[in-house]
Structure 1
Amino acid sequence: MRPSALNVRLVWALPVSVSLLLMAGCASNNLESQLGDTGHSTQRDYGDSHTFPVPAEIQDNVDFWRHVYGVWSLSEVAIHDDEHLGVIYEVTRIPGLTQASYNQLQQSWLKDRVDHYRFRLADLERRVRNNQPLTADDKTLLAKFDRAGGVAALYGASERVRAQRGIREKFRRGVEISGRYDRIFREIMRQYGLPEDLAYLPHVESSFQSNARSSAGASGIWQFMPATGRQYMTVNGQIDERYDPIIAAEGAARYLSEAHRRLGSWPLAITSYNHGQGGIANAKSQQGGDIGRIVRHYKGSAFGFASRNYYAEFIAAREVAGHPERYFPEGIRYEEPWRYDKIVLRDSMPVDHLAQHYGTSKQQLAELNLHWRDPVIKGDGHLPAGTTVWLPAGTTRRIASQPPAYARPAAVARTEPATRPAAATPAATRTAVAMATPATTPVAAAKAPVTAGTKTQAQPAAAKSKTRYHVVQPQETLYRVAVQNGISVEELRKLNKMRPDDNKILPGQRLIVGI
């Protein structure tokens, strides 16, 4: 049974005196914070207030999204003020069959409910402006605006009526899927020196749906736009790495690292993931660096509902996903963690050759490699050099120990990443990293098969005394170079006298990867 919402009024067309109630505290002991008729929640601890602070100005916003993610189901909709999220006029059940989207009758019903409150609020504003007598219901509603932002908050409220559907079921499914990626996402964040909990961001972006695509063109679990994606990964008609959750996670880490360096705080860096670094830099120049003040007072032309609420949504998602027992007492069945071998092609080759060599099917490869586009999957083009290839776990070790008669590939080791166990995620992720030889023989070459946080096997004494170099290829990142050469990002920076926060490398640059 889900966390109860017994004190939330379920209404159809009840009198305004009954309908105009804020969401009350959930009766379940699993939800510690309560929202009373005052419209303000008790202050709750969302953890790590230094890294991810929750100022008073956005407390109601966080509590609102906490309910959207963990309390309100797909069959419920909240009608509320879109600036003061503590002012909620109604939480009601949607009539008819619950589906992913509203049918025509439900759309008409919802429009009627929204129009009802718009008319009611416009009438109340008119009477307040004209100093006309107010009913008891009027005074109750006006008091809610007074507590939310002063009586002036009522002005224009009739134009700010918004409906928000609950997504508890969708969010719960996203939590289950996150078991597949949580460890490796956290490892990537650690490699870039970022807070591990940024791994929760896909809950806000896509609910961990790998094929998610927004109407604006953002794609994948991390929802990169095409132009932004090209700054951090390969995005073209053959390969679109926005759809590879792990490669895109590295791109997100690079973006967030740059945003934090430029903007100076995690609330601003996270908000820029939605609004852009330039937009948030402008907001900071006008309002200062406090996210609460920016949300409450900044009026940038593109700083709309989504941008104002983005950081609050992240905090709410972190709370709900981080404490699933509070919100999903029925239990969570986490997916198995990512356990696939990884190779990187040195040269171009067709998918058919790759599948044949590694004893798998083109269909299975396509299912594992979500970043491959239709032309290469259908055989209309080759996989370009530098393409990441995910293979069934153990494939590279099997091929290395049992080479085909026509070609003997060099051995590929499988290593275990040094990752911190996640609370709900079982055994460690296994990844093998190698390079492939020319397209005529799609076999793995002996190129430092390692994973993040591990080192290659000891080399002979003669080899140790020689400095090893790596020439940066197009689309390569500091993290990839470190992984391919069996060292950490921190060690790679030290070898090349780079700053601790410097992630910038250029194609053709020669990096020291061992001495």
Structure 2
Amino acid sequence: MAGFISGQDFSSNDEEKHIYTVMPRLTFKVEGGLEKNLKFWTNIYTQYYTYQGMIHDAKYIDLVYEILDFKIIDKKSEKAIREAKKRIKSLLLSVHKKQNQVEKMTEEEKKIYQLFGNIQEPNKFLKAMHRKRLRFQLGQKDRFVEGLYNSGKYLIFMEEIFKKEGLPIELTRLPFVESSFNLKARSKIGASGIWQFMKSTGKLYLKINDWVDERNDPIRATEAAAKLLKLNYESLGNWPLAVTAYNHGRKGLMRAVRKVGSQDLDEIVTEYRSSRFGFASGNFFTELLAAIEVEKNSDSYFPQLKRARPLSFYEVDIPDPVYLDEILPFLGINLEQVTELNPALSSKIFSGKKLFSGGYFLRLPLNEGQTAQEALDSFKVHYAQIPLSLKQRRQSKAKYDRKFTSEKKR
């Protein structure tokens, strides 16, 4: 029977080591046409809430037609967006017809006309009417602030992982783009966790089965993301492409590089034509740059910001098949704390629906001032006092039938 295995002391009482301090170097630079995109996304993250948004041009991203505020508009947001786009399309068509007779334009039409003043392109107003050009972007300020709070629990561990892999620590800000650092993020297409891994990709690096999904563990998922980003970089040769490949796919970006004949992201965004390489892929890297900027200077953007303290825990490999809800009271450990520390585990493990059969490092909370070894020694003493009948359990049919009869319907 396997013995207890202690993990590292995952505590951090030294806040000087935490990400509140300014990061030493900025690896990524903003060049060329990306500067306007950076300003756009910085504004989305810092100025507009999720009850606000803007109608803008997808090609000339800084060309903003209208700001919508759904607290003021007494309509459903989808309807308000449709009506705003319809109105702007009508204005664009009218401006196209009157562009050689500016004096006949209304005030609204003149504003549209002036927005395009520096754009030299034939039929520019007609082209701007296209459904792929007229776009709505929701604000993200409140989500970003919540994400900053959540990030306090994990960023110190994530940075260490990237340092060990020899990767720029700025890349650890990518979850702000992927999920707003939402610890319970789940997408409609099946992506999960702060790094938004699809199951097919996640299985290449992570344990995913009916009782554990490591995509939902920020630390384990960060280890996987580091490996994936490293592979992207080795294949594509620079970080703008490697980061974009995280969204678009490595093979897709390699194809774009071949077709355009350049490894410059700005050139690829401008020249590459593909049904799959759309607005999201083209803006993914500048969204990261904006997230890096906002997180680094979060005290300036959000003076009242508070971050959660880093998690403090140790790890054990429990050698016996047990029901966690049965043994934790003997250990004097709060189930809620264990649930927070082990987000990869299925809720069935914590509720007693499913047996925790070992072979997986369980995180347990460290008390203040306690080392991992001290905690482990204490754990062993308390664990030895648990009745043997609770430490050699099997998936109990009686317990299963009594408490969870609904499971039979599956």
- TM-score range relative to shorter protein: 0.7 to 0.9
Match of 2:374 in 1: 397
Q: 1:182 to 1:272 in 2, by over 3 A?
A: same
- Given the alignment, which residue of 265, 268, 272 partners 2:238? 265
Match of 2:54 in 1: 78
Q: 1:309 to 1:347 in 2, by over 3 A?
A: farther
Match of 2:45 in 1: 69
Q: Does 1:304 align with 2:275?
A: no
Q: 1:114 to 1:237 in 2, by over 3 A?
A: same
Q: Secondary structure at the match of 1:299?
A: coil
Equivalences for residues 67-466 of structure 1 within 5 A: 67-96=43-72, 105-125=76-96, 133-135=101-103, 141-142=112-113, 144-145=115-116, 147-148=118-119, 150-151=121-122, 153-159=124-130, 160-287=133-260, 288-329=262-303, 331-344=304-317, 349-352=322-325, 355=328, 358-394=331-367, 397-401=374-378, 403-404=380-381, 407=384, 440=392
Q: Secondary structure at the match of 1:121?
A: helix
Q: Deviations over 1:424-463 (max 9, x none)?
A: xxxxxxxxxxxxxxx649xxxxxxxxxxxxxxxxxxxxxx
Gaps of 5+ in 1: 1-46, 98-102, 409-438, 442-515
Q: Secondary structure at the match of 1:334?
A: coil
Q: Secondary structure at the match of 1:227?
A: helix
Gaps of 5+ in 2: 1-23, 386-390, 394-410
Q: 1:143 to 1:234 in 2, by over 3 A?
A: same
- 8 Å CA contact 1:60–1:86 kept in 2: the answer is yes
Match of 1:471 in 2: none
Q: Deviations over 1:264-304 (max 9, x none)?
A: 11111111111111111111112211111112221221111
Q: Which has the higher contact order (CA 8 A, sep 6+)?
A: 2
State how far apart, in whole Å, the 1-side matches of 2:308 and 2:379 are.
31
Q: Deviations over 1:132-170 (max 9, x none)?
A: 644466576345335356455444211221121222122
Q: Deviations over 1:315-365 (max 9, x none)?
A: 011111110133113x21111012111234567544246525643244442
State how far apart, in whole Å, the 2-side matches of 1:367 and 1:402 are.
19
State how far apart, in whole Å, the 1-side matches of 2:25 and 2:35 are.
15
Q: 1:140 to 1:220 in 2, by over 3 A?
A: same
Opposite residue 217 of structure 2, the aligned amino acid is D
- 8 Å CA contact 1:57–1:293 kept in 2: the answer is no
State how far apart, in whole Å, the 1-side matches of 2:181 and 2:140 are.
13
TM-score, normalised with respect to structure 2 = 0.78
Match of 1:425 in 2: none
State how far apart, in whole Å, the 2-side matches of 1:194 and 1:347 are.
38
State how far apart, in whole Å, the 1-side matches of 2:188 and 2:82 are.
22
Match of 1:39 in 2: none
Alpha-carbon offset, residue 396 of structure 1: 5.8
Q: Deviations over 1:62-116 (max 9, x none)?
A: 111100001123343211011211111122432448xxxxx85333223211110
State how far apart, in whole Å, the 2-side matches of 1:290 and 1:376 are.
48
Q: 1:89 to 1:406 in 2, by over 3 A?
A: closer
State how far apart, in whole Å, the 2-side matches of 1:400 and 1:315 are.
45
Q: Deviations over 1:8-31 (max 9, x none)?
A: xxxxxxxxxxxxxxxxxxxxxxxx
Match of 1:496 in 2: none
More moved, 194-203 vs 378-387: 378-387
State how far apart, in whole Å, the 2-side matches of 1:333 and 1:191 are.
28
Q: How many residues in Structure 1 have an aligned counterpart in Structure 2? A: 358
State how far apart, in whole Å, the 2-side matches of 1:258 and 1:402 are.
40
- 8 Å CA contact 2:314–2:366 kept in 1: the answer is yes
Opposite residue 246 of structure 1, the aligned amino acid is I
Alpha-carbon offset, residue 387 of structure 1: 1.8
Q: Secondary structure at the match of 1:77?
A: strand
Opposite residue 60 of structure 1, the aligned amino acid is K
Q: Whose helix proportion is higher, 1 or 2?
A: 2
State how far apart, in whole Å, the 2-side matches of 1:344 and 1:126 are.
73
Calculate the aligned-residue CA RMSD, in Å.
Answer: 3.0
Q: Secondary structure at the match of 1:371?
A: coil
Alpha-carbon offset, residue 59 of structure 1: 1.4
TM-score, normalised with respect to structure 1 = 0.63
Match of 2:21 in 1: none
Q: Deviations over 1:449-493 (max 9, x none)?
A: xxxxxxxxxxxxxxxxxxxxxxxxxxxxxxxxxxxxxxxxxxxxx
More moved, 78-87 vs 342-351: 342-351
Q: Deviations over 1:167-218 (max 9, x none)?
A: 2122112112211112111111101000011111111111211111111111
Opposite residue 83 of structure 1, the aligned amino acid is K
Opposite residue 124 of structure 1, the aligned amino acid is V
Opposite residue 316 of structure 1, the aligned amino acid is A
More moved, 174-183 vs 153-162: 153-162
State how far apart, in whole Å, the 2-side matches of 1:293 and 1:153 are.
21
State how far apart, in whole Å, the 1-side matches of 2:182 and 2:37 are.
24
**% identical equivalent positions:** 32
Q: Deviations over 1:233-271 (max 9, x none)?
A: 011211000111111111111111111111111111111
State how far apart, in whole Å, the 2-side matches of 1:301 and 1:106 are.
27
State how far apart, in whole Å, the 2-side matches of 1:347 and 1:297 are.
59
